Amino acid sequence: MELLIDGFLKAFGLLFSMDREVFSITLLSLYVSGLATFISLVLGITFGTLLALTEFRGRNFLVSLINTGMGLPPVVVGLFITIFLWRNGPLGFMHLLYTPTAMIVAQAIIATPIVMGISLAAMQSLPQKLRFQILSLGATRFQMFWLLVREAKLSLLAAVMAGFGGVISEVGASIMVGGNIKGYTRVLTTATVLETSKGNFDIAIALSIILLFLVYLINLVLTLIQQRERPR
Amino acid sequence: MDLLVAEGIKVVRGGKVVVEVEKFVVRSGETVALIGPNGSGKTTLLMTLATLLKPMEGKISFKGELLHGFSQALHYRRQLACVFQEPLLLDTTVFHNIALGLKIRGMPGGEIKNRVENYADLFNITPLLHRRARKLSSGEAQRVSLARAFVLEPEILFLDEPFANLDAPSREVLIDDLACILKKKKVAALFATHDRSEAVRFADRMAVMTGGKILQIGSCEEVLNHPINEQVASFVGMDTTFWGKVVSVKDGSALIAVSQKLIEIIGYFEVGDIVFCGIRPEQVILSQSPLGKDTSIRNNLPATVVEVSPRGSFYKVTLDCGFPLTSYVTTRSLEELSVKVGMSLNASFKATAVHVMKHGRP
Amino acid sequence: MRHWKCLFVVIAILLMGDLGESLGAAGQREVILATTTSTQDSGLLDLLIPLFEKKTGYFVKTIAVGSGQAIAMGRRGEADILLVHSPAAEEHFVKNGFGINRRLVMHNDFVIVGPPEDPAKIKGLKSVAEVFKRIAAEGKLFLSRGDNSGTHVKEKELWKAAGINPEKKRWYQETGLGMGETLNVAAEKKGYTLTDRGTYLALRKNLRLVLLSERDERLMNIYHVIEVNPAKWPKVNALGAKAFADFIVSQEIQEVIRHFGKEKYGEALFYPDAGKKVEELGK
């Protein structure tokens, strides 16, 4: 119990003293996961919608792949990306291993199937004829896409929250492709793991609290947006 | 003038041909009703003509110009409007729903406001303008859907069973309103329905469709009273149909033998011809005793009542006079004649009421 | 709609910026140092790396993993320089031509810690072998890291040297955790464990564990720095690796190492040994 209280106190201490390292770790967490979520949002909603609205051979197979992707173990993603980005690996020339960019890529790969899968389901649950109604009003394909996305806003925001939640809390892939390098690729989750394994439980708890707070704040904002649009 | 011309339309779904129509024309200002049972392909044809579905084969021309390619179809789609069975409104206010098509076309806000208000007034939904569309009753929602279509001032309107989901009183009122507005605005319309009476209210011309094909197309009078075959006949409500053999001819009329009864019909035939006929139930008169020689009714048949079923404001009486015969009588007549199952009555109809669909030599 | 386009552009620039930094000449500016978790946890590198970076302008990417993985990275050419403490594996590594210029850097030592009650009564025993034999004989709880880290490898050697096989014995438990966590488990469960002095010193105020045995020469933990052989892996940053190796064995830095920990823990954590022979250590 005292450990938890210690942790809380330490958390506030770190925050208020604007400890530079904690600050940079937090900022990096936001940057990496935020960017990854944004990428997954764009790719996920676009392709999820496209898939929902089109018919073609092998579509069911593709959908099953996406649904599998939703449960893709992040650690597996991390492993494969690491192998690809190794100096002597196929993409070694890009020198991306142990950089924040690699972390963004890994997290985007983890989040995109989640966003895509939920978007697909959201768009498919819109009334079938709605698409035709919108087209009959003279909408271009682009306009139709936007109108349908707006209609499915509630579910799509849930998809974004799911994607973000999945990556801000991710640690396995982030350590593997990022290397947990101090001041460069260390984020809240990887720093927590480090401090825990060192036995610095109070710092670990402090970082966890900061992480939880961050996640809560962001989800609060998204929830407010989502619920504001709800039909009253 | 021919506004919309479709030729050689063939729509395939799941390997099966669901619509096959050789030629279909809608002229400017006219209302064409497309009637047929559920699953006959009406909705598919409608959506294909509105270029919402792509046919496997076929050409569509609008105002003389052939449509090919998506962008050209877009130009066409901005001159039409569709109303479906479900209102399909977006989750926003009624105002924004009606304005949607105008916003899509980039119309300036002030002009949008004017138009929307005008058409909301036309459909009597002005008080609903700032309500959320999802909170409306089905009747109100369908009015919004109609307003949304009319506000675009389209050249041609496509309606797919717009009243099917409404309760009877809402339907009645809305049908009246729509009939009135269509007449006023002089916009061409293609109207799909499975309800004959709706079709009759609105249509200049009627097309009967089953199994993806159009069996007959013509004015309402033509289709209802002169169906070309049994299928159409049964769909347009010509319930009484029978085969007969011509036994004697005289001056443009003939006597045919039907189940050992003799019936007088008009037309030029030869003795021995086989004919297939139909009679509309509205034209079968029931009476206690045969109608006398001082009327123009040529056919009187003793008949037994087999079934009596209510049809809203009238009754459908099925009789057996050697062959099945159907008659529509008002509730009042039913009571006055005390029509009951099993009783014997006289059924009469004019020779001109018998419509010959087919004839030939055996 | 317009502000969405702006957002896209901003994101693209952010991505490009980071990407550009990584591509191209960055390869030559970076040195990938593979080392062990306990080395990193001691905090020594947090002091040395910035000094090195400032002096030379290289950007060091410290990848702290288990000994086994660090050496494996070297074997694959995925690291430029190794700073590890697993002599047997290191010799193997160099013998097979993967490493060059293996140089002695420093040593720290392991100690055996346990609950203050010392149920097996090992305090005062002269050698590690005796300690281990006593723990086995008494069947008292011993926690092992069980993760093939340098510490674990050392522990296994010590059991072997004592002639005991602790595998599958009831009193022998493997945690699979890092050193700090394992110490916590030992404190909770009132068991003995082998730990490097540095980690113990860093955590001892929160742990109910006392130091019970030390200074046996077998308990020495010897660190070498090894450059990955560019002949085997041309893509390694050979210049950067050499620069780091030279740096860490330099007199100046060896002095820094000598004093590291004194302020915080009252005693030094490492003993600088550059230039000495292994046999001379501890004497």
| Residue B50 pLDDT greater than 50, yes or no | yes
Bigger pLDDT: A18 or C114? C114
Return d(Cα A118, Cα A124) in angstroms, integer. Answer: 10
Whether C61 sits inside 8 A of A201 (CB atoms) is no
Compute the nearest-CA separation of B130 from chain A (Å). 13
* Total Cβ atoms within 10 A of residue B258: 19
Fold of C109-219: D-Maltodextrin-Binding Protein; domain 2 (3.40.190)
- Closest-CA residue in chain B for A152? B91
Tens of pLDDT, residue by residue over C29-38, are: 899 999 988 8
Decide: helix, strand or coil at residue C135: helix
> Which chain C residue lies closest to A31 (C-alpha atoms)?
C14
Local structure of residue B133 (DSSP, 8 states): G
Single-letter residue type at B45: L
Q: Indicate the average pLDDT of chain A.
A: 88
Q: Which of C148, C141, C147, C199 is nearest to C173 (CA)?
A: C141
Q: What is the DSSP string of C252-277?
A: HHHHHHHHTTHHHHSS-S-EE-TTS-
Name the minimum distance, in Å, from the CA of A169 to any CA of chain C. Answer: 21
**Tens digits of residue pLDDT in B221-268:** 889 888 888 888 888 888 899 999 999 998 888 999 998 889 999 988
Q: Which of C2, C29, C41, C183 has the highest number of chain A CBs within 10 A, making it the mutation to test binding with A?
A: C41
Handedness of CA C18, C23, C29, C32 (dihedral sign): positive
Bridge-based pairing state of the strands B261-266 and B253-258: antiparallel
The confidence score (pLDDT) of residue B138 equals: 86
Q: Which residue of A has its CA nearest to C34?
A: A179
Contact yes or no for C22/A95 (Cβ under 8 A): yes
- Rounded average pLDDT over A46-65: 89
- What is the arithmetic mean of pLDDT over C103-122? 91
In a domain, A202, yes or no: no
Long-range contacts of B259-265 (CB under 8 A, 24+ apart): B259/B322, B259/B323, B260/B322, B261/B301, B261/B321, B261/B322, B261/B323, B263/B299, B263/B301, B263/B354, B264/B298, B264/B299, B264/B351, B264/B354, B265/B351, B265/B354, B265/B356
In a domain, A98, yes or no: yes
In the structure, what pLDDT confidence band is assigned to residue B44 with cuts at 50, 70 and 90?
A: very high
How many CA atoms does the CB half-sphere of C192 hold within 13 Å?
29
Q: Do A138 and B105 touch (CB under 8 A)?
A: yes
Phi, psi of A174, deg, nearest 5:
-60, -40
Residues B64-116: pLDDT tens digits?
888 887 777 898 999 999 999 999 999 899 999 999 999 999 999 899 999 99
pLDDT band at C4 (very low <50, low <70, confident <90, very high): low
Report pLDDT for C9: 66
Q: Which whole number is the average pLDDT over C252-271?
A: 87
**CATH dotted code for C30-108+221-278:** 3.40.190.10
Residue B118, φ and ψ in degrees, nearest 5: -60, -50
ipTM value greater than 0.90: no
Task: Kindly report, residue by residue over A106-143, the tens digit of the pLDDT.
Answer: 999 999 999 999 999 999 999 989 999 999 999 998 99
User: Residue C208, SS3?
Assistant: coil
The more confident residue out of C122 and C15 is C122
> Given C26, C37, C46, which is nearest A182 (Cβ)?
C46
Q: How confident is the model at residue A229 (pLDDT cuts 50, 70, 90)?
A: low
Tell me how many domains chain A contains. 1
User: Cβ atoms within 10 A of the Cβ of B324, count?
Assistant: 16
pLDDT for A56:
84
Residue A5 has pLDDT above 80, yes or no: no
Note the pLDDT of residue B320.
Answer: 92
pLDDT at position C24 over 50: no
C-alpha distance from B290 to closest chain A C-alpha (Å): 56
Contacts of A232 in chain B (CB under 8 A): 132
Digit-coded pLDDT (tens) for A171-203: 999 999 999 998 899 999 999 998 887 777 778
Q: Residue A199 and residue C177: Cβ atoms within 8 Å?
A: no
What pLDDT sits at residue A232? 47
B and A touch with 3+ CB pairs <8 Å, answer yes
CATH number of the domain that A52 lies in?
A: 1.10.3720.10
CA distance B184 to B182: 5
In order of start, what are the domains of chain B with their CATH numbers? 2-234 (3.40.50.300), 238-360 (2.40.50.100)
Residue A203 contacts C, CB cutoff 8 Å: no
What pLDDT was estimated at residue C1? 44
> Which residues does A80 contact at the CB level (< 8 Å), separation at least 6?
none
Using CA atoms, how far apart are residues A122 and B203, in angstroms rounded to an integer?
A: 40
Give the count of alpha carbons within 13 A of C219, CB side only.
21
Q: Per-residue pLDDT averaged across A58-71, rounded?
A: 90
For A156-175, what is each residue's pLDDT tens digit? 999 999 999 999 999 999 99
Res. C102: pLDDT tops 90: yes
Residue-range definition of the domain harbouring residue A168: 26-184
Query: Could you tell me if residue A207 is inside a domain?
Result: no
What average pLDDT is seen over chain B? 89
In the block, tokens 């950007």 appear at C59
- Is the pLDDT at B294 greater than 90? The verdict is no
A57 touches chain B (CB under 8 A): no
The shortest C-alpha distance from B205 to chain A (Å) reads 24
Query: What pLDDT sits at residue C27?
Result: 61
Q: B96 vs chain A: nearest CA distance in angstroms? A: 12
Are B104 and A139 inside 8 Å of each other by CB? yes
- With contact defined as beta carbons under 8 Å apart, do A160 and A37 qualify? yes
- Domain annotation covers residue A4: no
Distance CA B26, CA B192 (A): 13
Candidates A126, A140, A154; CA nearest to A49 is: A126
Residue B211 has pLDDT above 70, yes or no: yes
The most confident of B252-261, C224-233, C258-267, by mean pLDDT: C224-233
Percent of chain B exceeding pLDDT 90 equals 47
Do B78 and A132 make contact, defined as CB atoms within 8 angstroms? no
